[in-house]
Amino acid sequence: MNDFTAWALFTAAMGAFMGSHVIPSRPAVRSRLISLLGKRVYIVLYSSLSLAVLGFLIRAAADAPYVEVWPFEEWQRLVPAMVVPLAFALGLLGLATPNPLSLSPSRAAFDPARPGIVAITRHPVLVALALWSLAHMVPNGDLAHLILFGTFLVFSLAGMWAVDKRARRRLGDAVWADLASRYRWLQWPRGLSWLTPRLVLLGLGGVALALLAAMLHEALIGVPALPL
């Protein structure tokens, strides 16, 4: 594959990634698709499409010509080795915690007296993605991968703003303002009342998933994740 074709495929993959996330996120488009397909079918199809486009983008970045922005050093692997387990733990906690302010599949009611991980950030899943993206930028100092992980970082940060807007519209200004004043994008929690055995177990589960991902990293991505 020549350089022009490789960059063209990477550009097409990046466009497909952005389009697959930006277009369905529009309320009118999302509502129309759900009404046509049903919510469950929509979620399955959207998730499948997202994974396929993500795989295409990662492969295209790997195949793009190497343009060095900064040189690779072996110590750089330590950054994702230390940060990614934290990101996995934060992401798993975010997915398992009821959260009216951000992304959460949990159907349970949110209890302000027991906010869980929301006591640290009201956007745990998006903060986890931002940490994962930043950590991967350090050992990937070539242009294509910086664009790749930089895009993930921008999406996670922009996603916080977009989710805030949707939550405010859904909850109403008064309720949203009250909750948002207590649960910020990032904050130091007061005391340890939010920390429960369930959260500790979920956090450890996230770390275990990060270790499994690191062990499979070379087989799936072609690059070892763990520093030697």
Question: How many separate domains does the chain show?
Answer: 2
In this prediction, residue 121 has a pLDDT band, given cuts at 50, 70 and 90, of very high
Residue 103: per-residue pLDDT: 83
Q: Are residues 168 and 58 in the same domain?
A: no
Token digits of residue 166: 């949707």
How many CA atoms does the CB half-sphere of 218 hold within 13 Å?
6
Please determine, for residue 228, whether its predicted confidence score (pLDDT) is greater than 60: no
Work out the percent of the chain whose per-residue pLDDT is above 90. Answer: 48
Residues 125 and 140 in one domain: yes
Out of 38, 65, 92, pick the residue that ends a domain: 65
Average pLDDT of 165-172? Answer: 90
Question: CA dist 105 to 75, 156, 171, 185, Å?
Answer: 37, 17, 17, 19
Same domain membership, residue 85 and residue 171: yes
One domain, residues 45 and 76: no
Whether the predicted model's global pTM rises above the 0.85 cut: yes
Return the pLDDT at 48: 86
Report pLDDT for 141.
Answer: 93
Residue 34 belongs to domain spanning: 1-65
Per-residue pLDDT for 216 more than 90? no
Which tokens sit at 43?
A: 């979620």
Q: Is the distance from CB of 210 to CB of 89 less than 8 angstroms?
A: yes
- Within 10 angstroms of residue 127's Cβ, the number of other Cβ atoms is 24
Mean pLDDT of the chain: 88
Answer with the one of 39, 65, 91 that is the final residue of a domain: 65
What's residue 191's pLDDT? 65
Mean pLDDT of 158-178: 91
